[in-house]
Structure 1
Amino acid sequence: MIELERTSVFNLENAMRGARNPMNSWNRMDSYYDENHEYVLGPNDLSLATRLRKAGSDHRKFIRQIMVSVDITAPLYWWKEYDTYKVATVANSTSTMHKIHAKSFELDDFSHDHLSENGLRVLNLIIANLEEIRLRYVESKNREDWYDMIQLLPSSYNQMRTCTLNYETLVNIYYARRNHKLEEWHHFCDWIGNLPYAKELIIAEEGQ
């Protein structure tokens, strides 16, 4: 299970202006803000952006300046793979260390969409035990109970993080993960594909 919410793409105007710096071609800029205050690339700017994107990483530096912020809720086993991407990413997460005991454990706190009947039965037993430990910890603040919660917590536990990335990082993620066996990565790549100008600036086939 993965949810991507509150997506915001910004700095496209500044990135596009920077893309024209090498040739001092600012007078050819034809992008504008529409009635919804969305930045729309004009034909000249879109043509330049597309050519630079396909020319390779040395020429497409401007897409590193196109920023994306998004709230992602996903299981810990997915975050373990996401954390491979440390360059040009920032994330603030909800804290299991400080807040694991703050609410009751429920089935929907865990990714269980692909569990078998037996797997679901086992997960429900774990949740019941975690909740018993949590209630005991809330009452006593016993450190052993806290460690039990932390160390017994399944990797299917869902965590929300507010993440900031740029389009260059998303190029790397898209091509590395689009055929991954985890369904969460397919949903993530679908989300990438729906970002503004993703077709031209992110998904553009290499070498074309």
Structure 2
Amino acid sequence: MKVEILKVSGINEALFGMRNPLNSWGLSDTKDDIIGKKDLNLAQRLIDGGTEHCKFMRQIQVWLNITAPRYWWSEFDTYKVGTSASSTSTMHKLFDKKTEIKVDMFEVHSDFEKKIINELIKDLNILRDNYFKAAIQQEKDSILVTAKRILSESYLNLRTVNLNYVVLRNIVIQRKNHRLKYEWQECFCKEITKLPYAKQLIFYGMEEDYERLKGENN
């Protein structure tokens, strides 16, 4: 599993809008995405007030490339509000003329898992060969549907995801003790520590978790 930060946008704009309710723009000390002490103090007080008060964090947008197994995506899809994604397609790209299906296309963590996946790969590559030999589209479609039905939950799928700092903070809180520790903590949340002001905003009040995850980056 791999998480890659593509872009972060909206820090200046979000911090400006944060001061709209009290018309306190004159107190703002944020410039060029560098958050000033006064703005950070207000931001953290709003975070303390709960998600209904820290609406400004919804306007800090993040784009990620995430390559993750299907079983992880089924859990990530819990987060429908404030997220959007574009995905690679198994319907169009499971079978590739140039490349056979290989074990590195799956999330594998043990010899037992590798053994099971290798057996599946043999069957998938037989289907792949039959797919490219098939003379009519109906036969190709039938073979592809069979492959999708037997495809393992550990098959890796790439999505380009757009989400915001509120969603990321909720994920950090909700997935702290999740059973999929490697996927959520060691891959996803660890990468989130690299975002601008992650400690001060996303991990605010959870600084020990930030330091633990940040230490694992080294």
**TM-score normalized with structure 1 length:** 0.90
Q: 2:95 aligns with which of 79, 87, 101?
A: 101
Which digits, 9 at most, give the CA deviation of each residue in 1:89-139, with x for residues without a partner? 000000011221124201100011x22x33322211111110111121022
* 1:80 corresponding residue in structure 2: 74
Return the letter of the residue paired with 2:203.
Answer: I
* 1:26 corresponding residue in structure 2: 25
**1:199 correspondence with 2:195:** no
Distance 2:166 2:79 in 1: 11
Compare 57-66 and 87-96 and name the one that shifted more: 57-66
Distance 1:3 1:146 in 2: 27
Number of equivalent positions? 198
Return the letter of the residue paired with 2:100.
Answer: S
**1:149 correspondence with 2:147:** yes
**1:175 correspondence with 2:169:** no
* 2:210 corresponding residue in structure 1: none
Paired residues of 2:4 and 2:191 also in contact (CA < 8 A): no
Pairing 1:7-22 to 2, within 5 Å after superposition: 7-22=6-21
Q: Give the CA RMSD over aligned residues.
A: 1.4
Structure 2 gaps, min length 5: 207-218
Return the letter of the residue paired with 1:191.
Answer: E
Which digits, 9 at most, give the CA deviation of each residue in 1:135-165, with x for residues without a partner? 2102214232111211111010000000001
Give how far 1:58 is off.
2.0
Compare 117-126 and 175-184 and name the one that shifted more: 117-126
Q: Higher helix share goes to which structure?
A: 2
Distance 2:112 2:100 in 1: 23
* 2:213 corresponding residue in structure 1: none
Compare 193-202 and 69-78 and name the one that shifted more: 193-202
* 2:41 corresponding residue in structure 1: 47
Return the letter of the residue paired with 1:106.
Answer: K
Distance 1:9 1:45 in 2: 19
Structure 1 gaps, min length 5: 34-38
Paired residues of 2:62 and 2:165 also in contact (CA < 8 A): yes
Distance 2:31 2:162 in 1: 24
* 1:36 corresponding residue in structure 2: none
Return the letter of the residue paired with 2:105.
Answer: D
* 2:164 corresponding residue in structure 1: 166
Return the letter of the residue paired with 1:109.
Answer: M
Distance 1:179 1:190 in 2: 14
**TM-score normalized with structure 2 length:** 0.86
